[in-house]
Amino acid sequence: MHYMDYTDVFDDEPVRQRAARPKVRRTKQESPLSDIEHGGDNPQLEAQDDPLQPFLDESWIRKVLHVVKSGKEATVYCCEGGAASGGELLAAKVYRSRNNRGFKNDSIYQEGRIVLDAHERRAVKNKSRKGREVQAGEWMSHEWETLRALHAAGAAVPRPYAQRGNALLMEYVGDQDSAAPPLHRVDLDRGDTRRLFEVAMAQIELWLTHNRVHADLSPYNVLVSRERLVFIDFPQAVDPRSNSNALALLERDIANLCRYWEQYGVRADANRISRKMWSRYIRGDL
């Protein structure tokens, strides 16, 4: 690993307290696909045509089982896989409209992304309704392309299967009983914390090697499944070759994870890690 000289493990016992999770009232709603339970902080879905029908028509999925989570950016469903996917459980991520997403400063992440069609480029520049639709679609396709590139590179990300309209179909991380929990809800084994920290740093470096910075990394979008980490939520990922904010976003990603692991006695210099990693990237040493 590249980070052993940056870390020092304390002898102190790790902090294991977790804030009590608020109870959420769940209600049944009619879905175009099936009667499923809508959970999460924002269970009301936007009115829209059925975004998952293409996956049904193409036999990627057989049916929707339940909602995994619902947030400002998207709603994620657990689906039973169809013939085209080999019957495995899949996660269908349905994106919300640009106006309802949580990223307020889209320009930070959009810098360097190119709209090839001249008419669409003018619409984006003029901030017309068509332009907003183009940007929303680009946000969705960007995560699809990022997942494809990183999965092909061997990164610990869900395998992407298909993208149709405003929905993305990918590997489901978890089992029949429940989805894999995010890092912030897990009490890690003290004996495994340093290894997992090094795994996380190595993943960030692997993404950077393939010209990607996650740009919104935190314990909320790292899943823990069978003692391994799986990294999710890449729509805002940036290319450091064309985005001037890449270094600052890389520093923020690493700092967020260093703060999390600090409670387990893993002490790391986030600034030193990010600067050294960036320096190696610029020199072509990764």
Model confidence at 151: pLDDT above 80: yes
Q: Are 202 and 118 part of one and the same domain?
A: no
Task: Report residue 25 as tokens.
Answer: 């009232």
Q: Are 35 and 138 part of one and the same domain?
A: yes
- Comparing 41 with 219, the larger pLDDT belongs to 219
Exposed / middle / buried, residue 254 (Cβ in 10 Å: 0-12, 13-18, 19+): buried
Task: Report residue 5 as tokens.
Answer: 């000289």
Q: Are 92 and 141 part of one and the same domain?
A: yes
Q: Are 94 and 192 part of one and the same domain?
A: no
Q: Are 31 and 158 part of one and the same domain?
A: yes
State the pLDDT at residue 203: 98
Q: Is 128 helix (H, G, I), strand (E, B) or coil?
A: coil
Q: Are 156 and 189 part of one and the same domain?
A: no
| Edge-to-edge strands, sheet with 167-171 | 61-70, 74-81, 89-95, 167-171, 160-164
State the pLDDT at residue 247: 97
Residue that finishes a domain, picked among 139, 171, 203: 171
CATH assignment at residue 78? 3.30.200.20
Q: Are 144 and 40 part of one and the same domain?
A: yes
Q: Average pLDDT, stretch 177-195?
A: 94
Q: Average pLDDT, stretch 162-185?
A: 94
State the pLDDT at residue 43: 39
Model confidence at 187: pLDDT above 90: yes
Compute the C-alpha angle 152/202/113, nearest 5°: 55
Name the pLDDT band for 7 (thresholds 50, 70, 90): low
Q: Average pLDDT, stretch 201-205?
A: 98
> How many C-beta atoms surround the C-beta of residue 261 within 10 A?
23
Q: Are 126 and 163 part of one and the same domain?
A: yes
CATH assignment at residue 203? 1.10.510.10
Q: Are 97 and 120 part of one and the same domain?
A: yes
Q: What is d(CA 281, CA 144) in angstroms, rounded to the nearest whole number?
A: 24
- % residues pLDDT > 90 (the chain): 62
Q: Are 39 and 150 part of one and the same domain?
A: yes
- Comparing 273 with 110, the larger pLDDT belongs to 273
The pLDDT tens digits of the residues spanning 67-95 come to: 999 988 899 999 999 999 998 899 999 99
State the pLDDT at residue 105: 61
State the pLDDT at residue 132: 52
Domains in the chain: how many in total?
Answer: 2
Task: Report residue 42 as tokens.
Answer: 């924002």
Residue that finishes a domain, picked among 140, 171, 202: 171
Task: Note whether 208 and 249 are within 8 A (CB).
Answer: no
Q: Are 91 and 120 part of one and the same domain?
A: yes
- Comparing 249 with 129, the larger pLDDT belongs to 249
State the pLDDT at residue 129: 53
Q: Average pLDDT, stretch 35-57?
A: 62
Q: Average pLDDT, stretch 243-260?
A: 97
Question: Domain residues for 99?
Answer: 27-171
Structural element, H or E, at residue 138: helix 129-152
State the pLDDT at residue 254: 98
State the pLDDT at residue 107: 75
Q: What is d(CA 149, CA 238) in angstroms, rounded to the nearest whole number?
A: 13
Model confidence at 37: pLDDT above 60: no
- Comparing 17 with 259, the larger pLDDT belongs to 259
Residue that finishes a domain, picked among 120, 151, 171: 171
Q: Are 156 and 204 part of one and the same domain?
A: no
The pLDDT mean for the chain works out to 80
Contacts of 71 (CB under 8 A, 6+ apart): 40, 41, 42, 102
> What is the value of pTM for the model shown?
0.78
Nearest to 109 by CA among 233, 278, 209, 221: 233
The pLDDT tens digits of the residues spanning 111-145 come to: 866 544 454 445 444 555 544 554 555 778 999 99
